[in-house]
Amino acid sequence: MATLHLALIRGIKAQLINEVFSTTYDGSRSLEFSNPGIQFVSGPAVTSSINATSSHPDIIGISIFDNQVHQQMDAIGAGITDAAAIVLKDFKTNHPDQYWELLNMLFSQDPEWIVKGGAGLNACRSPLGASDFGISPYTYDDTYDGSTDEDLKLFTLDKAPKLFEVLQDVKSVNPNTKFTFATWSAPGWMKDSPNAQPLFQGSLKQGYEDIFAKYLYKSMATIKSEKGLQPYFLSIQNEPLYTSNSYPGMRVSPTSAGKIGASLRKLLDDGGLNSIKIMTYDHNWDNDQYAIQQSDSAPFDTFAGVAWHCYAGNPTAQQRYNQAYPGKEVHMTECTKITQYLSEPWPNLRSTLHDLIIGSIRYGSRSVLLWNVALKEDDDGFTTPHLPNVCTNCLAPILFNSNAFQSDPTASLKGTNTRTVAQAQADDAGSKKRKKRFFSKDSFGGHETAGSRRATLEKRQTSFYKTTSDYLALTHLSLAVRARGSSTYGVNINSITSDETALGDANSRLFSQVFRSDNADSRGNSRWSVVILNRNDHFLTGRYDNVTVAINFRGKVANFTCMPGVYTLSWLAPKTA
């Protein structure tokens, strides 16, 4: 640890890359921590990628424009649906110690969990009522005889006890968690639905905008007063342009959504809940005009910003909303991949990094929230629980197996890594059978020093669950932006790779996203972090080639050689040049 501390001090003066977390395409490294001590040295920026020779990899430049400061990052997290709550609560019942360790791995902000591979999430998104991921359709104010309840006398949160218990447990691990919400459907008596199950399909009845707004307000107020959770923001309707005959949903026109939002904004402000933000849209990139029209249909202060999903379209669509409403917040609130078809983990990881952490953030997203935080996976890779005829192989950061729900008082975490860096180094020194773990200049562009010893964080797979590409993607982003000690959450800094300049988005092999977190040490330095996606895998054809990344920062260059994968690199430097 003394050498690590020395490297940090050196990093203040010499601007050393003293922290690298590596995840390789082949799984040989998974959130593997290292301290390579790579120094920024004088030299020209690489603005045109340099082709490989027989003995050296291609060189691709990253130019960091440290004066071009963009959005403040806000939230990194995943959905806690009824399905996620069910599996987490059942895991807690059978294995309470391991349950609390898992919640810490997911949500703790304590520095000790960084070296354990912790994700450091700070946000959850939950449905108000049932979604596709649960075991039955319901809202918080259902009637079963066709009657109405316009005074909301039947309103209750008690239909989702596991959901709120898990959310309260998350809060106990991270008191600063941002809890976000969205409805999938209004209560059936508010809707005009052609389906025998009124929560499926249909739209809000004309003239019910104020009543639905009152329902949303009561949901927020009751979650705060009864459950002790402070809502951060909500969307008035999840995916307002799509309904299914298999799970709750509701179509909402932009004009109707504007009326609901305006009424809800007034109720929240008058009820002392003015800190709760309302987001518009909450749907895919392929219909950015709806987001603009919804904002157009309400007073300017109604909606704090826009929420996006990733299932159709392209992240460039976010820019059109940004141009129409500059200064409004932008959030990515839902995305998931699939568990099967040879997509896990590398194809899914490269896609998620490209679309969200590179793409969506590049167009203003302050947050990245994926879908279910945890599900159960069977032996064939199908995920559960969910309503019939919906997604059977949706991914989650945590996938439980059947052992997680079998009570065994003697069970222990098998194959998990909870070692500190110091413990890992001690293990290396004491084992003659273990392969030596040093960086070499050839493989990583650093130098073999005492401070460059690395601690391996094994792929986190236990007898109860495994982590997925979703977990890896969120953790790499979190490592780059989360507050540590007295530092603040990161801001996005503009950067571009030489591949992108020459080849464009479709053909680029390397992408980067840069962040700056201020007050990272006692000297007032900032932590600068770059998330690198190296997809020099020749479009998944089976050939995987290393590249040397030449990072240009304030007129100096640091070289880092890596195989295809995802890497989060950090160094300390003053906030301004």
Q: Domains, the chain, ranges and CATH?
A: 2-71+421-454+490-573 (2.60.40.1180), 74-405 (3.20.20.80)
pLDDT at 337: 96
pLDDT at 139: 98
- Greatest alpha-carbon span in the chain: 77
Quickly tell me which residue has 């084992």 as its tokens: 431
CA–CA distance, 548 with 565 (Å, rounded to integer): 13
pLDDT at 459: 47
CA–CA distance, 143 with 146 (Å, rounded to integer): 7
pTM reported for the whole predicted model: 0.90
Using DSSP, how many helices (H) and how many strands (E) does the chain show? 14, 25
pLDDT at 79: 98
CA–CA distance, 74 with 360 (Å, rounded to integer): 13
Which ranges of the chain have pLDDT less than 50?
1-12, 411-459
Amino acid at 509: R
Long-range contacts of 265-269 (CB under 8 A, 24+ apart): 265/298, 265/299, 265/301, 265/302, 267/213, 267/214, 267/217, 268/217, 268/220
pLDDT at 53: 75
The answer for residues whose C-beta is within 8 angstroms of residue 53's C-beta and 6 or more apart is: none
